[in-house]
Structure 1
Amino acid sequence: MTNYGTNIDAKWQKKWEETGIYKFDENNPGKNLYVLEMFSYPSASKLHAGHWFNYGPVDTWARFKRMNGYNVFQPMGFDAFGLPAENFAIKTGIHPKDSTEKNIESMEKQLRAMGAMFNWENEIITCNPDYYKWTQWVFLQLYKKGLAYRKNAPVNWCPSCNTVLANEQVLDGCCERCSSEVIKKDLTQWFLKITDYADELLEKLDELDWPEQTKAMQKHWIGRSTGTDAIFKVVDSDLEFEVFTTRVDTLFGVTYAVLAPENPLVDKLTTDEYKSQVEEYKNQAKKQSEIERQSITREKTGVFTGSYAINPINGRKVPIWVGDYVLSTYGTGAVMAVPAHDERDFAFATKYNLPIERVIEGGELPFTEYGKMVNSGEFNGLEGEEARKAVTKKLESMKLGSEKVNYRLRDWLVSRQRYWGAPIPIIHCEKCGTVPVPEKDLPVELPYDVEFTPDGKSPLSKSPEFVNTTCPVCGAPAKREADTLDTFVCSSWYFLRYPDNNNSEKAFDTDKINRMLPVDKYVGGPEHACMHLLYARFITKALRDMGYINFGEPFTSLTHQGLILGPDGLKMSKSKGNTISPDDYISEFGADVFRMYLMFGFDYTEGGAWSDEGIKSMGRFIDRVDRIINSCVEELNKDTNDKTSIDAAEKELNYVRHNSIKSILEDAEKMQFNTCIARLMEFTNALSKYLNEENKNTSILKESIVDFVKLLAPFAPHFAEEQWEIIGMPYSVFNEKFPVFNPKALIKEEIEIAIQINGKIKSRIEIPTNLTEKEIKNAALEDFHIQELLKDKTIIKIIVIKGRLVNIVAK
C-alpha cells in the first residue's frame, strides 16, 4: 500500500485551513457560482455512505468549476429541528437540544474530514435562535401579506407522532416518518397560502434545468384543471352547493349528487329519517385515509341524506347522497354523478340501483371518452370543447355556473403539536384577537425546560412561563401560540441566509442576495420533489413579491443523486444490519479512495449496491498512480536531453492526454464522474506504457504528468495536492487552471479497427488512416492471430467498413 491515507488527509486539510484557500471572496469580480447540497438532519451522530454520496461528488464538481475560473460558494449547515430528536429524547431522556448539538459536533468533524471546500464561516444551524428568529420573521411577513392564516379544518393526524401532518407528508395513507396510519381530525391550525402561487409554480417549471420526472411530479401535485362550477340548489330549502367538473358536457346525465362526509352541508341536509345512518357513516369515514378513499379498486359506499337537489341544466330533481370517495379537501367537497360516463359513479349507481342514462354517443357503458352529446336537448350533436363552452355559457346566463380553474394543491399546513421546532410568533388576546409578535421582540425563544411527552396537545401549552404574556397592542394578559412550525418552513428559505449568515439586523441583505442567488447548482434526493422543493419555490416567489429579492426561483439547476444500497442490494437500515459507515474505510484507505470509489462504482444519479472489493480496487489504483508519478519524477531528474523529433509513442501519449482532458471537461460538467475516472485510468495506462520506452521526451512527459495531476485534483484532492508537491510544483494545485485540450492532438494518423471472422471480433489492429480498401484487407489478413484462426478455412469474401472494421466471411 502507498503511504497515502489519513496522514496525508490531515496534512492538507490543515494547510487548506491555515491558508484559507477556499474562503469565498464576495468582492471577487469573477464568475460567482453558488453550489449547494441539501443540508443534513443531525438525527444521528455519524455520517453514512448516503451523506458521502450527496456531498463528496458535489465537492468534486465544485472543485472542477473552481479550476475552470469560477468563484465558488459552497456553504454547509444543519436542518436541526424535527421529530427524530424529540422522539429520541422521549425514549432516552436526553434533551433534544443536547442530543442535536452533540450530533452536530460529531458530524462537523466528519464533514471536515471529507476535505470538501465547505465555507464553514457561513454555517447555519436551524435550531439556533439567531437562525429561527428569521424563520419567525419570514412567517410574520407572510402573515402581514395575508399569506398566513388560521382556521379550523380537517387535518391529517399521526397518532404515533401525536402531531398534524401536511398532505405532502402522508404517503399511501401513512405517516411518511413512522409509517403509522393517518387519521382525520378537526383542529384549528395555521396555513400558508401556497395556492395563491399555483399558476406560477406550474408555469415556471419548464424554464428550470431540473430532472423531467421531478417537474412532472410537481405538475401532478399542483394538478391544474380547467372546468366548470355548477350550482345545485336544494329542493325546499335556501341551501345550495357547487360542484366542479371538467365534463360539463355530461350534465344532462346527472342522476344523483354526492357530498363528502366532512362537508358541513351534510348535517343541514340530512333529514330526521336518515340521521342515524348518516352519523354512523361519517364516523366510519373518519377511520379511512384519503388514499384508501380514492382507491379505484375499493368498493364505493354511501348513504342517502333524504334530501334532493335540482340539476341546473334541466331542472331535474336528483337525490343527494354522502359518499366517502368524495373528499372535502379536493374541489368543492361535492360531485355530480354521471354513472353512464364515469366508472366510480357507474359502480355506485349499480350498487344502489340508481338511474344510469347515456348522454354521450359512444361504446359500452360506462363510456368515459369524449363524443357527441345525445339526450341533451338543444346541445345534441355538440362535442368536446365546443360542447363544454356551450353548456358553460348556458349556465352563466342562468347564473347557475361559470368557468373555473381548479387545483389539486392545497394550502400548506404548518402547525405542529410538538416541542422541537420554531415557536409560531403569534399572541392570542381576548380583546385584540390574533396579534403578531412585534419584530423587535423576535426571536420568540423555545424554552429548555418543557414537558414534551406527546399526548396530542402542544407541549408548549403546558409551560405557563412560555404561554402567559401580555398583548403588545393593549397590554392585557394574553396567551402565546403554543404550536411550533413545520420544520420545512426552516428549510424553505435557508439558502437565502447562507451568504449573509452573521447579519443580526436582517434575515439577509437584499443587494448581497440578489448578487449571489439563485443557487446555480442544487443537489439532493428526489423524495423532496413535492415538499421542500415546492415550498422553497413558494417562499422565494412570496419574498420576491414583497420586494425582498428580485428573483422568483431558488434553484436554477437541480441534480438528484442516486441511492447507495447495502451489499445485499437493499436500502440501508440498522434493522437489516446492512449499513455502511465511511469511518472505517477512510481510516484504512483515506478520504479520496472512498470518494473516488463512490464516483467510479456508481452512476451518480442512480446509485447501486456497495462492494468492499470495489473500494479495494480503487485503493490499488491510487497505489499505482503513486508509483507511476514517482517513476516519472525519477525520469525527469535524470540528466537527459529532449529528443528533437516526436515518435509514435509520444504521439500516442499526447493523444490519450488530450482526449482525457476533452472527455473529462465534457463529462465532469454533467456529473458523469464514473466516465471521468475511467479516462484517468486510461491516462495512467498511457503514462505507464510510455515510461517503458527507452528514449523519452522529457518535455512531453512533464507536460503530461502536470496535466494528469490537475485532472486528478477534483476527484482526489488530498492525494493530488501531495503529488503536486512531489513533482515540485508550487502550492496549490487548486490555484491552477484546469487543462485545455489541443484539437490537433486528437487527429490520429493511425486508427484502431476490429477484425471479425463471421461477424465475431477476433482481433484489433492499428493501421494508417490513408490506406486503400485493398491495403486494409491485406493488413487484416497479415495479422498473426487472424492467420492462425483462418487455417483450414476457405475465405468466401472480405467486407471492409472504413474506419471501423473488417469482416472476413469464411467456412
Structure 2
Amino acid sequence: MESRYNPAEIEEKWQQTWLAEGSDRTPDNTDKPKFYALSMFPYPSGNLHMGHVRNYTITDVIARVRRMQGYRVLHPMGWDAFGLPAENAAIDRGIHPAKWTYQNVAQMRAQLQRLGLSYDWEREVTTCSPDYYRWTQWIFLEFFKAGLAYQKEAAVNWDPIDQTVLANEQVDSEGRSWRSGAMVERRLLKQWFLKITDYAEQLLQDLDQLDGWPERVRLMQENWIGKSTGAEVVFQTETGETIPVFTTRPDTLWGATFMVLSPEHPLVEKLTTESQAEIVTAYRTEAAAKNEIDRTADDREKTGVWTGSYAINPVNDEKIPIWIADYVLMGYGTGAIMAVPAHDQRDFEFAKKFNLPIKVVVQPTNETIDADTMTAAYPHEGVMVHSGPLDGVMTGKGSGQSVEAAVQWLEANGKGKGTANYRLRDWLISRQRYWGCPIPVVHCSSCGTVPVPDAELPVLLPENVEFTGRGPSPLAQLEDWINVPCPTCGTPARRETDTMDTFICSSWYFLRYPDARNDQQVFDPAKTNDWMPVDQYVGGIEHAILHLLYSRFFTKVLRDRGLLNFDEPFKRLLTQGMVQAAAYKNPNTGKYVAPSQIADLSNPTDPATGEPLTVVFEKMSKSKYNGIDPGDVLGKYGADTARMFILFKAPPEKDLEWDDADVEGQFRFLNRVWRLVCEFGDRASVQKTAEAQALNHDEKDLRYAIHYAIEQITEDLEEEYQFNTAVSELMKLSNALNDATCKTSPVYREGIETLLKLLAPFAPHIAEELWQRLGHTDSIHHQPWCVPDPTALVVDEIPLVIQIMGKTRGTIQVPAQASQQELETYARESELAQRYIAGKTIKKVIVVPGKLVNFVVG
C-alpha cells in the first residue's frame, strides 16, 4: 500500500463518490428510530469562515455517529438568503441582490462540500426562492386568519443607516442596530406586528420542557419574556377618561401621589390643558428622538412635564396630578404608572425634582421614617401604614401578606384585579426594504386589509428595480406592481410595499426540510411530525433570543393551526463557542497591527510607534488582522485535519483559540494513522476473529485498549459531546496499536479496523480511503458503530500506586481481584516500597482498593 498521505487527492475523490452514490440521502424507511441533526443555516455571504467550519463539523460528527448507530438521519442544509447585506451589496456594486445572493450560494455550497459534510443536498432550501417564500407568505396569512398578524401605528426603532425599522430584539444594550451598528432613533410609523404576546405564558412555561438546552439560554429567554405579577388598577380622570395601570406593588396604592404617562400615551393630547399644550408638545418631540436605553437609564436625571390634569386614586379618592415623563415607556405595561415616591427610587428622584408630595405607607419594623426628612426611597420590607384596610399587614407576597391582601381587597371592591404583565412586546416584522419576502396583503378603500388568496401565492418580488441608494424601498416606486384589483370586491387597490423581517424566514425553515420538494403544501404534516422535533440543534449563543424565541413561537402557532403535533421545535441545543485567533494590539492606541508588518513576532512592537504590542486572542476579524481563511487551511492540510483540529482544540461550548502548531499536530496524527494502516495492509495477517479466552498477555492488553477506547469515545459522543476527549482517546488507541507486539494477531486487525470506524465521523475521507484499501467494498460510513465487549474490559492485573508519606514513588502490577489485605502485602513486599520503608517504623498504612497503598513511616 502507498505510504504517502495525500489529502487533496483522496478528499476530492470521496466527495464526488458520496455525492454520485447519494450516500448521505435521507432514508425513506421508518423502521429505524429517527434522528434530526441540524446546524443553524447561514446567510450566504460567499465566504466560509472558521465559525461556520466549527458549527457544521460538530453537527456532521453527530449525524455520522447516529447513522452508524442505526438511526435514520435527516441532516440538511439551506440558506437564509433574504436581508439587508445583499441589498446593500447591490447598491454598492451595481448588481441585483438576486444575482449576488445566488452567486454566493453556489460559492458557499462548494466550500461546504470541501469539508466532507454529509448533507442531504436534495433537501436544500433557499429562503429567497419563490418556491420557499410562497409558503412563508402562506404562513403569514395563517397568522392573519388567527388574528395574530395586525397593522398599527406605533413608535418604532429606526435604523438611520439601513433605512428600516427594527424589532426590540434587534437593538443591542447600547441602543445600536444589531446589523449596521447605528444609534437607533424612534419614529411613529404604521407597521405590521405578530402577536407573540398571546403566547408569552406558553413560551415561558414550556422552557421547563427544554432540559436539553443550556441553562443560560433558557434564562435569557425567561428574562426577555419578563413576567411580572401584580394587579391592574383603573384610575379615572376628572373628565371621565380611564387610565389602567399595572403595578407589581398594589399594596402601595395608598402612597401614590401622582401619575406618570408615557409621552406616546394616546390620552396625552386629551389630558393636556391649553395652558400646558406648548410645553407638552415640545417635550413629546424631544422624547421621540431618544432611544429606550437613554430614556430608562438609572443614572440619568429625570425629566417631565405636567399635563395640567388630575386623576382620582381609586383606593382613597385623592386627587393626584398627571405628568408625562420619558422614563415611562408605552411598550411596557399600559404606558402609565402610579408614582409612589416614598418606596420607589425613580419616583422619589422625580418627586424631589418637581416638588411633588411624598407619602410613607411602609414603615420598617425597628424604626420610623419621615417623608419630610427622607433622602432616598425606602423599598424594603416592613409593615403597612396609612393604607386603610392594609394597616398593620406585613409587606411581601404570600398568603396573609400585603400584596395578596391588596389584590383581594381590590377585587372585592371592584377597584382592580390580579394579573400578570410581560416585558415581551409584539414582534414588529415590517421592513422598508426591497430584498425580503413581500407581505401578501392588499389595501382596499372599501374592504380594508385583504389577504391575497392562496391560489395567487407567491406574491412575486419584482426584479425590475433600480438601486440608487439606501433611501426608501424601490418597491414603493413600482406603480405597476403596487396597483392591483382588490381580491374581494375587484375595485382598484394597492399592494403592501413593506417586506418581512428575515427572521420570519428562519422561524420555520426546519419544518420544511422533512418535505422540502412539496409544491402543494407548506409541508406534509405526517412527514414533518415524523421527523420533528429536531433532535440536536447547533448554533451560536447570539441567537438565544431572536431566532430561537421566534422559532418556538411559530411552532406553537402552527400547532394550534392543526399542522404540528408537538410543542417545541428543538429537543437539544448546543451553542458552540467562538473561534478566536491571536491579534497584535497596541494597548496605548487600541489599534491592531498586521503580523506581516511586525519585524519580530517573538518580541512584537508597533512599527509606527515602537511601542510593545500585546498578543490577545479575539474573534477572527479582518479589522484585527487575525482572520484565518478556511480555504488556505484546506489547501495545505485537507478537510480531515481541519475537522480534527476544530474538534480537538476545545470542548464545543467553549471558545477555541486558533493555533497553527496544533493544526500541524493533527496533520501529523493523521499521517501516523495512514502509515499504521498501510504497514498493516502490507503484512499477511491472520483473518479470523479474536477470541478473548485464547489470547496471550499482550493480546489481552491490546484488546483491553481497543474496547476501552470504544467505551470512552461512545460515552463522549452520547450526552455532553466531548469531542476533544474523544479525539484524545483515538490518539491513545493509535499509540497502543503502534506499540503493540502482536501485529500478526487477529486482535491487531480488530484494533486497526476499530480505529478506522471510530475515526470515520471525525475524519471521514481518510477513514473511507484506508477502509477500502484494507479490501472492504462497502463504505465505512455504512458500518455499525462499535460496541464494547465487557469481557475484554476485564483485566487480570492492575497498576497499584505506591506512596510514601503521601508522595507517589511508582507503581507495581497486582492481581485485579486482590483484597485490601493482599494489596497491603503486595505493596510491603515490593522492591519499590522496600527502598523507602526498609529499617523504618511503619506507623500507618492507608489502602485505597484498586488504586494505591500509602505508607506513613517514622
Give the TM-score, by structure 1 length.
0.95
Moved more, 26-35 or 188-197: 26-35
CA distance in 2 between partners of 1:697 and 1:773 (Å): 39
CA distance in 1 between partners of 2:819 and 2:504 (Å): 70
Q: Structure 1 stretches (4+) deviating beyond 6 angstroms?
A: 638-644, 781-796
Amino acid at match of 1:665: T
Amino acid at match of 1:90: I
Establish whether residue 633 from structure 1 lines up as the match of residue 675 from structure 2: no
Amino acid at match of 2:223: H
CA distance in 2 between partners of 1:59 and 1:214 (Å): 23
Aligned ranges 1:12-91 → 2 under 5 Å:
12-43=14-45, 45-91=46-92
1:696: how far off? Answer: 5.2
Residue 223 of structure 2, aligned match among 212, 220, 224: 220
CA distance in 1 between partners of 2:437 and 2:637 (Å): 42
Amino acid at match of 2:699: E
CA distance in 2 between partners of 1:61 and 1:4 (Å): 26
Moved more, 336-345 or 788-797: 788-797
8 Å Cα contact 2:88/2:470 also seen in 1: no
Structure 1 residues 652 and 331, CA gap change in structure 2 (3 angstroms)? same
The aligned counterpart of 1:802 is 849
8 Å Cα contact 1:193/1:411 also seen in 2: yes
The SS at the match of 2:125 is coil
Residue 373 of structure 1, aligned match among 369, 374, 384: 384
Aligned ranges 1:609-648 → 2 under 5 Å:
609-637=657-685, 645-648=694-697
CA distance in 2 between partners of 1:769 and 1:640 (Å): 29
Aligned ranges 1:279-298 → 2 under 5 Å:
279-298=281-300
The aligned counterpart of 1:95 is 96
The aligned counterpart of 1:689 is 739
Establish whether residue 734 from structure 1 lines up as the match of residue 781 from structure 2: yes
8 Å Cα contact 1:540/1:552 also seen in 2: yes
Establish whether residue 744 from structure 1 lines up as the match of residue 744 from structure 2: no
Aligned ranges 1:540-559 → 2 under 5 Å:
540-559=555-574
Aligned ranges 1:319-398 → 2 under 5 Å:
319-362=321-364, 366-383=377-394, 384=396, 385=398, 386=400, 387-398=402-413
1:478: how far off? Answer: 1.6
Instruction: State the Cα RMSD in Å.
Output: 2.4
Aligned ranges 1:157-556 → 2 under 5 Å:
157-172=158-173, 173-208=175-210, 209-235=212-238, 237-362=239-364, 366-383=377-394, 384=396, 385=398, 386=400, 387-453=402-468, 457-556=472-571
1:645: how far off? Answer: 4.4
CA distance in 2 between partners of 1:220 and 1:95 (Å): 41
Cα shift readout 1:724-757 (whole Å, capped 9, x = no counterpart): 1122223211111111112232222222233445
Residue 722 of structure 1, aligned match among 745, 754, 769: 769
1:758: how far off? Answer: 4.3
CA distance in 1 between partners of 2:192 and 2:95 (Å): 30
8 Å Cα contact 2:690/2:747 also seen in 1: no
Establish whether residue 674 from structure 1 lines up as the match of residue 724 from structure 2: yes
Moved more, 407-416 or 637-646: 637-646
8 Å Cα contact 1:39/1:77 also seen in 2: yes
1:453: how far off? Answer: 4.2
1:775: how far off? Answer: 6.0
1:178: how far off? Answer: 1.4
The SS at the match of 1:34 is strand
Structure 1 residues 534 and 485, CA gap change in structure 2 (3 angstroms)? same
CA distance in 2 between partners of 1:696 and 1:519 (Å): 44
Structure 1 residues 639 and 469, CA gap change in structure 2 (3 angstroms)? closer
CA distance in 1 between partners of 2:264 and 2:688 (Å): 90
The aligned counterpart of 1:608 is 656
CA distance in 2 between partners of 1:804 and 1:48 (Å): 47
8 Å Cα contact 1:150/1:189 also seen in 2: yes
8 Å Cα contact 1:418/1:454 also seen in 2: no
1:485: how far off? Answer: 0.5
8 Å Cα contact 2:165/2:431 also seen in 1: yes
**Seq. identity, %:** 48
Amino acid at match of 1:315: D
Amino acid at match of 1:646: L
The aligned counterpart of 1:5 is 7
Establish whether residue 768 from structure 1 lines up as the match of residue 815 from structure 2: yes
CA distance in 2 between partners of 1:778 and 1:625 (Å): 43
Residue 699 of structure 2, aligned match among 634, 639, 650: 650
Establish whether residue 144 from structure 1 lines up as the match of residue 155 from structure 2: no
8 Å Cα contact 2:44/2:105 also seen in 1: yes
Cα shift readout 1:507-554 (whole Å, capped 9, x = no counterpart): 111222222222221111121121111111111111111112222221
CA distance in 1 between partners of 2:463 and 2:801 (Å): 73
The SS at the match of 1:177 is coil
The SS at the match of 1:157 is strand
Give the TM-score, by structure 2 length.
0.90
CA distance in 1 between partners of 2:106 and 2:838 (Å): 72
Unmatched 5+ stretches in structure 2: 370-375, 584-616
CA distance in 1 between partners of 2:794 and 2:682 (Å): 31
1:637: how far off? Answer: 3.4
CA distance in 1 between partners of 2:817 and 2:517 (Å): 66
CA distance in 2 between partners of 1:321 and 1:216 (Å): 35
Amino acid at match of 1:603: P
The SS at the match of 2:235 is strand
The SS at the match of 1:244 is strand
Structure 1 residues 782 and 6, CA gap change in structure 2 (3 angstroms)? farther
CA distance in 1 between partners of 2:132 and 2:220 (Å): 31
1:686: how far off? Answer: 1.1
The aligned counterpart of 2:597 is none
The aligned counterpart of 1:123 is 124
CA distance in 2 between partners of 1:290 and 1:573 (Å): 30
CA distance in 1 between partners of 2:482 and 2:803 (Å): 83
Amino acid at match of 1:110: Q
1:798: how far off? Answer: 5.1
CA distance in 2 between partners of 1:754 and 1:700 (Å): 29
Amino acid at match of 1:220: N
Count of residue correspondences: 806
8 Å Cα contact 1:636/1:702 also seen in 2: no
Structure 1 residues 787 and 181, CA gap change in structure 2 (3 angstroms)? farther
CA distance in 2 between partners of 1:776 and 1:377 (Å): 79
